[in-house]
Structure 1
Amino acid sequence: MNSELRRQVLGCFKQLHRTRLRVFDGDTNALIAARLKINEEFAKNRNVSDAENVKKLVEFGYQVEEVLCKSVVQAVQRDDGVYRARIREETTRLDNKPYSPMPETLIGPFKKKRTKCSDPEK
């Protein structure tokens, strides 16, 4: 592996660990599990020497880092049994629309009446 690819791999490795520290801040179990998983995946692919495969793996690593940043939200239980979400600036936020069931008047005309099954051969 040439020095440029090696630099990219190490950069991805370090970035994943920095993201892990930021995303799972204060959660010792998650920090340890994420560290072990990152190290395990990099060790598993240590012997990959094809430049194209290495580039694909580095790109995948950055995609994983993006998912961690944007999708993972920690919930911390308070003393009163209520959970508090730790949402960071980079966390993706979607519109939160309250559930509104359809009124009964709209459902009525679309209900199918049940009929007895007739034998198709008769």
Structure 2
Amino acid sequence: MSVALRKEVISAYRNVLKTQRRVFDSDAKARGMMMNKTREEFRANRNVKEDRQIQYYLLQAREADEFLSKHVVQAVRQGNGNFRMNMRPETDATIEWPEETDAPTSAKRSFDGPSTCCKDQ
């Protein structure tokens, strides 16, 4: 592994750990579990020699870091039983709703009032 690539790996590792600390700031248990998993993953791939494979793992680390930053939000239970979300400036709070699908006309129902069997009752 080249020196430059090694620096990238160390930088990616540190960035993921920093993001985990920031995202799971109020949840020590989740933070510890995530940090342990990150250490395990980086250690498991420590002996990879091929630059192409290392680049692949670097991409995975960057994507995981971005996902945690933008899409993971911790919620804290309030005294009244409700939860408060700890939103951060980088959190993507956009909610995308799926577009309505066009159901076939045979599946669409209309209501024309009660059927004839119930009118006598």
**TM interval, short-chain normalised:** 0.7 to 0.9
The CA deviation at 1:111 is 1.6
The answer for the alignment partner of 2:108 in structure 1 is 110
Q: Which runs of 4+ in 1 moved over 3 A?
A: none
TM (norm. structure 2) is 0.78
Distance 2:57 2:15 in 1: 14
Distance 2:20 2:63 in 1: 14
Asked if residue 82 in structure 1 is aligned to residue 82 in structure 2, the reply is yes
The answer for the alignment partner of 1:45 in structure 2 is 45
Distance 1:5 1:29 in 2: 32
Distance 2:89 2:35 in 1: 23
Distance 1:2 1:96 in 2: 42
Distance 1:44 1:76, change over 3 A: same
The CA deviation at 1:30 is 0.9
TM (norm. structure 1) is 0.77
The CA deviation at 1:96 is 8.0
Name stretches of at least 5 consecutive residues in structure 1 with no aligned partner.
98-108, 113-122
Percentage of pairs with the same residue: 32
What letter matches 2:109 in structure 1? K
Q: How many residues align?
A: 101
1:28-67 residue CA offsets vs partner (Å, 9 max, x unmatched): 1011001101001001111111001001111110010000
Distance 2:95 2:38 in 1: 32
Name stretches of at least 5 consecutive residues in structure 2 with no aligned partner.
98-106, 111-121
**What value does the CA root-mean-square deviation take over the aligned residues?**
1.9
